[in-house]
Homo-oligomer: A and B are copies of this chain.
Amino acid sequence: MELKQVILVRADLKMSKGKIAAQSAHASVECVMKAMKSKTKEKLVKEWRSEGMMKIVVKVSSEKELYKYMQEAKDQGMITSIITDAGHTFVAPGTVTCGCIGPVEIEEVDEITGELKIL
């Protein structure tokens, strides 16, 4: 099985590189923490880690678009996280900045997010 995490970042927010990195890390860790609560999903995390923790970061153009993909992934039973920023710096408080799907089988998630462009 080949697994990956897909991190979806809102490109319309004009966040700095560092901000995007921090928000993406939030989303990725949140998915891992959620997964660790279920024995089946924990196995996925361990396997993904042993494979090198593949991650790809893609862009979405709005909050609405982000939710559309996240909902599809959720409906398929995938691990998901959505990050809302406290908004101390770049964005207004409560702004949804990014989301993460997985670890999940590459083929499965590509059916949902495969069309999105790499950030």
Which residues of A pack against B, CB within 8 Å? 5, 7, 9, 16-30, 32-33, 36, 49, 52-53, 55-59, 86, 118-119
Contact = CB atoms under 8 A, between A and B. Distances in A.
A53 B84 CA distance: 12
Contacts of A21: 7, 9, 20-21, 23-25, 57, 119
B18 A57 contact: yes
A53 B23 CA distance: 10
Given A7-B22, A25-B28, A86 B52 contact: yes
A20 B52 CA distance: 16
Nearest to A58: B18
B53 A18 contact: no
Contacts of A16: 119
